[in-house]
Amino acid sequence: MKRPNLAELEVFAAVADARSFRKAAAERGVSASALSQAIRNLEERLGVRLLNRTTRSVAPTDAGEQLLRRLRVALRDVAEAVDDIEGFRRRPAGTIRINAPMPAIDFVLQPLAKAFLDACPDVALELISDAAKVDIVDSGFDAGVRFGEELARDMIAIPLGPPLRYVVVGAPDYLRVNGTPATPDDLTGYNCIRQRFPGGTMFHWRFEKAGRAVAIAPEGRLTVSSAHHVMRAAQDGIGLGWVLDGYAQPSLEAGTVVQVLDDWSPRIPEWYLYYPSRRQMPLAMRAFLDFIASRRSSLHVPAAPPAG
């Protein structure tokens, strides 16, 4: 026996509840003869009469009454499930998962989180720190943050924050003992605090001046995986560190570190928030993109949050 589909069962329930083909047809905007034929097809398929019909009335048989009792519950559950999904179209709801490097979370996304969550109380936000290249679709993310040159061509991207700048810093006492480097080439004679990505790749320090670009593979006795720890080590006088200026700014202002090679530290392109498609985008994600767009002019790199 081929099972009836949901539409056929809805027709039966409508006629049985209305006790009239004419009334049910008027409610559904179809002809009474079309509903009558649909019920005959359903009865033939099930091999059971579901409705007793006279010229004046329609009433469920015992089998029809039993089916109707179960259907009322099932159809109500289906209607509620559809209403829940419709809610996603009417208001922002659900979870947004974003994959981003830790600095992008520290300086842009985390400072905006409270205002966004206050504006969209039915939305949850997951900010996952990851500097490795990931397939955001395959990994279950709604969006990611990377530099522009790292984005796949099939992604839609919007600028996120201002251009960035990396700086080299060291403790005053360390520089008094070891001297101040004049060029990136001089760094070979210094203990550099190295930083390694979670995937194993080591940070290269990149510089530029007067059209000359230099990349240094730093050498040093301490390797960490966080810019917070680079700054702590630099303040402790272990060596020189290379970090985004947002991480260094509080310590520079406090005088616990000083900047060197300033004229070799150009600005670099900003981060981009990227996502796969605008087609059938969840309303929560659309609300997040609109929120970012409304705040873009005021985005800036603030002082670094305290190290944990």
Considering only 68-77, 106-115, 236-245, which range has the smallest mean pLDDT?
68-77
Contact indicator for 184, 265 with CB cutoff of 8 Å:
no
Q: Give every CB contact of residue 206 below 8 A, 6+ residues apart in sequence.
A: 166, 213, 214, 215, 216, 268
Contact indicator for 252, 169 with CB cutoff of 8 Å:
yes
pLDDT for position 302: 44
Q: Inter-axis angle of helices 62-90 and 283-295, to 10 degrees?
A: 10
Considering only 76-90, 150-164, 247-261, which range has the smallest mean pLDDT?
76-90
Alpha-carbon distance of 261 to 269, in angstroms, equals 20
Per-range mean pLDDT, top range of 19-28, 196-205, 260-269, 296-305? 260-269
Summarised one tens digit per residue, pLDDT across range 51-99 is: 888 777 888 899 988 988 888 888 888 877 776 666 555 678 889 999 9
Q: Are strands 94-100 and 143-147 parallel, antiparallel or unpaired?
A: parallel
Alpha-carbon distance of 17 to 12, in angstroms, equals 8
pLDDT for position 303: 45
| DSSP state for residue 30 in the 8-state scheme | S
pLDDT for position 134: 80
Q: Please tell me whether residue 202 adopts helix, strand or coil conformation.
A: strand
Alpha-carbon distance of 265 to 209, in angstroms, equals 8
- Give the number of other CB atoms < 10 A from CB of residue 57: 9
Closest to 264 measured CA to CA, from 187, 196, 189: 187
pLDDT for position 278: 65
Looking up tokens 């981003």, which residue turns up?
Answer: 100
Alpha-carbon distance of 207 to 262, in angstroms, equals 10
Considering only 70-79, 188-197, 216-225, which range has the smallest mean pLDDT?
70-79
pLDDT for position 17: 83
Does the structure show a pLDDT above 90 at 137?
no
At 231, phi and psi to the nearest 5?
-65, -40
What mean pLDDT comes out for the span 111-120? 93
Q: Which position has the higher pLDDT, 59 or 178? A: 178
Summarised one tens digit per residue, pLDDT across range 204-219 is: 999 999 989 999 999 9
